[in-house]
Amino acid sequence: MKRNRENMEIVWQTPANPPERHDYIFRNGIRYVKPYYFEFISHAKNRWAGKTIVDLFADEFKGRNRDYYDSAVKSGRIQVDGKTVPVSYRVQSSQKISHFVHRHEPPVMALDVAILHKGEDVLTVCKPASVPVHPCGQYRKNTVVGILQAEHDFAPLFPVHRLDRLVSGLLILARSASQADIFRQQIESGTVQKQYIAKVVGEFPEEEQIVNLRVNFNAREGRSTVEVGDTDEKDNKTLNGKAACTKFTRICTNGKYSIVSCHPITGRTHQIRVHLQSTGHPIANDTLYLTGDVNSGSRRAFDVVKSNRSLNVKCNDNCDSQPEYSIEDFDIDPLCTNCPNLAPIGYDGSEEGLWLHCVRYSGPDWVYECPYPEWASLS
């Protein structure tokens, strides 16, 4: 789709446009996506009806300020049912609303998406930490699915299970919807076993630890808490957490850290992380769940690791030939609130992956495994 905006020809992408190898820029161990023009499409919800188009965006999409939305409506970057509207236009329920943006995706660590098994029906890979599995939020091309399509021409792909963005390890992807449905049925029937490993604070108990604590995820805060019992004795309120169980077995320890095998029986958001926290042995670099007296010491140790780490940087040809990006690598958009920066505001690519890694999934007649990461060695 081509439109002429600000005296330049713009090619607008939609979700139908596949990622390509040349969409990426590599710099200092970080994978960036070249900013591109994209059409976000939504349909007006009932609660939006009657709001002016500018009020709607200012209230519902707070990533940009009101002045930007005012300019975007006037310039035609925001349209209703494919037409330019005045800033005073009042939205009606179910109308198609298009927002044409210069899209800057957050950067991720430039680590290989290593292919572990390639079959006719199934693909398994080692997912790098910091990379989302599939398009979500601000991520579209900087995802495992996007990178595999751009660099290996694997499409379509259907992720069989979830891995949080900061978690690394085994990821199973079905190569057809029918195969994905087979895996889904097995997972829902409880016939699939999962194993992760984590590097935790302190000397984890030698005997197996079974944690049966409800997990309550707070989407607003982006973190989970555990709940005990069926009611809150203090407030006499029914607890909202979902039943959750994880089995933990120590693999090794040096007294300061331990490597722990984690077997989640259920699959709640941040379940392993918050259950480990409840044992007093949180993941050693999990700043979201490090608490109390383990916090400062673990953070200091983590800072040392950050300063000394080296990345297996992904390069298209060889690392010596990879140039640092310049403004000439992408078009500067006059209405874009992120230009001339490559990453969106608030993202600098400096985050680290969690010391939590998926190593094994097994079903009724199949097993897939992933090698241990370097941090799993305490020597």
Q: Please give the chain's pLDDT, 379 residues, in tens.
A: 444 344 456 777 877 789 999 999 999 899 999 999 999 999 999 999 999 999 999 999 988 899 999 999 999 999 999 999 999 999 999 999 999 999 999 999 999 999 999 999 999 999 999 999 999 889 999 999 999 999 999 999 999 999 999 999 999 999 999 999 999 999 999 999 999 999 999 999 999 999 999 999 998 899 999 998 665 555 555 678 999 999 999 999 999 999 999 999 999 999 999 999 999 999 999 999 997 645 444 444 444 344 333 334 444 444 444 444 444 567 889 889 899 999 998 887 677 899 999 999 999 999 999 999 999 998 7
Helix (H) or strand (E) holding 219: none
Are 17 and 28 in contact by the 8 Å Cβ rule? The answer is no
Distances (CA, A) of 256 to 9, 204, 298, 356: 59, 10, 9, 17
- Residue type for position 216: N
Which pLDDT does position 15 carry in this prediction?
78
- Residue type for position 225: T
The predicted model scores a pTM of 0.84
Catalytic residue (choose from 55, 70, 164, 331): 164
Are 215 and 226 in contact by the 8 Å Cβ rule? The answer is yes
Which pLDDT does position 300 carry in this prediction?
45
Residues 6+ apart with CB under 8 A from 370: 116, 124, 126, 169, 170, 357, 358, 359, 360
Which pLDDT does position 379 carry in this prediction?
75
Which pLDDT does position 224 carry in this prediction?
93
Which pLDDT does position 328 carry in this prediction?
52
Which pLDDT does position 316 carry in this prediction?
43
Task: Provide the token pair at 45.
Answer: 């919800």
Residue 67 known to be catalytic: no
- The residue count of the chain comes to 379
Are 230 and 238 in contact by the 8 Å Cβ rule? The answer is yes
